Chains A and B, each alone.
Chain A
């Protein structure tokens, strides 16, 4: 049972074969050469190869306009790919839509509801559209979904009167109307307050702990880092990286940075200890920590008479990885 954990206390993923080469049978979502060219020539998604392992929490990252929502729309059969193919829960889309989608809960590009209906009536409406949902349990399931996102008290309120965050929560409730094997959430925490963000995060972990696959697109890297086991990074319609967080981190080892007036001496100590890629600066030295314990490194330095003014362990954040993969520029790529 997942509990809300503090910042940075990222729950270790259960050991699992890395999926970059995972067989399609183990994947909730598979895309092969998925391409979408909109009328007007805009290529929103370009030759996308994606595999989302069953049971993973997959963070789908990318800057604005990189094609995340377009990909999700193709996965859900809302738009048809120009070329390529995709499978959801082992069924080809859009052909297998009717059998796959009842097991998929989705939030696509923000909430959309009937403004003149209450939250409850809105969910009943969407439930009625699902041919496999049992009408006898509809009210309970709707009530349960509303409770789960903390909207129980506002169930009877008209959607028109909902705040942005309440609307977002209602959209998430809509994705939880039935038992799901896959949740596809396009920016689920958009517009939520900090409590709401935390709750959604713990909700996602709770759902995932049962084996449900969660495919979540987001810009919030800290959030993705905390809840996802795998990530894929999009840039201008192409997937530029895919793997477990650990895989993506590989090659981005934590580094030590020693501030000292004796950089040469410090560097030799670090070399002696076997730290890789020692870089000597004017009054500091950096090296990859590798498997060494920082406290031992520090003690060695001091023991050797190096004057240590500062000692830091720098872990590259996901944000740095992200910017490294998608470029520094602020402007949206055409």
Chain B
């Protein structure tokens, strides 16, 4: 009975084998008592109950325990997200885009009308990463993040799993925070998948060397790679901001498709507003305006002012929509 041995190694319950249980002296003893009672009925269920008795820590309000418990829930959440076939499919799709762009550039070359960044890819494979991210950051990446974010709470509510998470008890604030972290990690993963795929495709298909930036200066290749990291990180923060918008929408409904659609519509709506010249004054307040601002990293010196403003807008969105999500979710009736 291996379960009994393992139980001995944990500290919380007296072992039924060597300590006679005293009924009613607390949870741990109770667990052992179940074990003893069941031994009469069958050895298997005896081991079972004792294992259960060892399961709960008596006091885990201490912060290290609480932090570990949060990490465990984050791990569970990430495992769920990254094992889910739908999400894997989205990541694979994202990984394919840089390859397709690379093949297209290789096959058709470039002519006079192609933008500078495109011709630069032909000269340096590293530029493929920037090109891919700038093409994806306005639609496909937000779509992927919108799906995960919109589904986060609404999907659990729709499936009824939300009520079991909350009676576990996951804690509403805690669950929301874990969901937010999960969305952020997924956004980062999505951006990283594009960057890595772009980097590999670029290395394989195009010459790689010192990078000529948009501002005309040439920097060594390692400096170029560092800039790839910066661009990826910046995009990920932009996606996380959108993710919190999606999370807030997700707390408003029990229909996950509705939450996903609403999140994506927000993106498209922002882009339309941003494209209308008469609405120029509104542009700086739109999330979508700042997503492509990472080309500041392709200048020398890096255009920190523009990117800094972008990060501020992202943070503001994250705060406001995080607060909306919390305000809505912490008191909501869970009737699904």
The answer to whether A and B interact is yes
B39: min CB distance to chain A, Å? 9
Contact A78 B76 (CB under 8 A): no
Cβ of A133 within 8 Å of any chain B Cβ, yes or no, is yes
A residues in contact with B160, CB < 8 Å: 109-110, 112
B residues in contact with A140, CB < 8 Å: 3, 6-7, 51, 54-55
A327: min CB distance to chain B, Å? 26
B332: min CB distance to chain A, Å? 9
Cβ of B244 within 8 Å of any chain A Cβ, yes or no, is no
Would A129 and B80 be within 8 Å (CB), given that A137-B10, A179-B55, A210-B33 are in contact?
no
A residues in contact with B138, CB < 8 Å: none
B30 interface neighbour in A78, A112, A132, A210, Cβ under 8 Å: A210
Q: In chain A between 136 and 154, which residues have their CB closer than 8 angstroms to a CB of chain B?
A: 136-138, 140-141, 143-145, 147-148
B residues in contact with A80, CB < 8 Å: 331, 333
Interface string of B149-192 (1 = CB under 8 A from A): 00000000001110111111111001100000000000000000
Q: Which of A129, A148, A174 has the most chain B CB atoms closer than 10 A to its own CB?
A: A129
A residues in contact with B334, CB < 8 Å: 73, 78-79
Q: In chain B between 24 and 46, which residues have their CB closer than 8 angstroms to a CB of chain A?
A: 24, 27-28, 30-31, 33-34, 37-38, 40-41, 44-45
B residues in contact with A106, CB < 8 Å: 164, 167
Contact A134 B41 (CB under 8 A): no
Segment with Cβ contacts to B, from A26-34, A94-102, A242-250, A309-317: A94-102
A131 interface neighbour in B24, B66, B163, Cβ under 8 Å: B66
Cβ of A103 within 8 Å of any chain B Cβ, yes or no, is yes
Cβ of B75 within 8 Å of any chain A Cβ, yes or no, is yes
Interface string of A264-279 (1 = CB under 8 A from B): 0000000000000000
Interface string of B284-316 (1 = CB under 8 A from A): 000000000000000000000000000000000
Interface string of A217-248 (1 = CB under 8 A from B): 00000000000000000000000000000000
| B contacts with A, residue count (CB < 8 A) | 60
Contact A114 B161 (CB under 8 A): yes
A171 and B48 alpha carbons, distance in the complex (Å): 17
Contact A129 B175 (CB under 8 A): yes
Cβ of A86 within 8 Å of any chain B Cβ, yes or no, is no
B residues in contact with A87, CB < 8 Å: none
Contact A129 B10 (CB under 8 A): no
Contact B38 A206 (CB under 8 A): yes
Pairs A–B under 8 Å by Cβ, sample size 16: A1-B37, A38-B335, A80-B333, A102-B56, A102-B168, A102-B169, A109-B160, A112-B161, A125-B76, A134-B57, A144-B51, A145-B48, A176-B52, A177-B55, A179-B31, A210-B33
Instruction: Using CB atoms and an 8 Å cutoff, list the residues of chain A in contact with chain B.
Output: 1, 3, 38, 73, 76-80, 97-98, 101-104, 106, 108-110, 112-117, 124-138, 140-141, 143-145, 147-148, 174, 176-179, 181, 206-207, 209-212
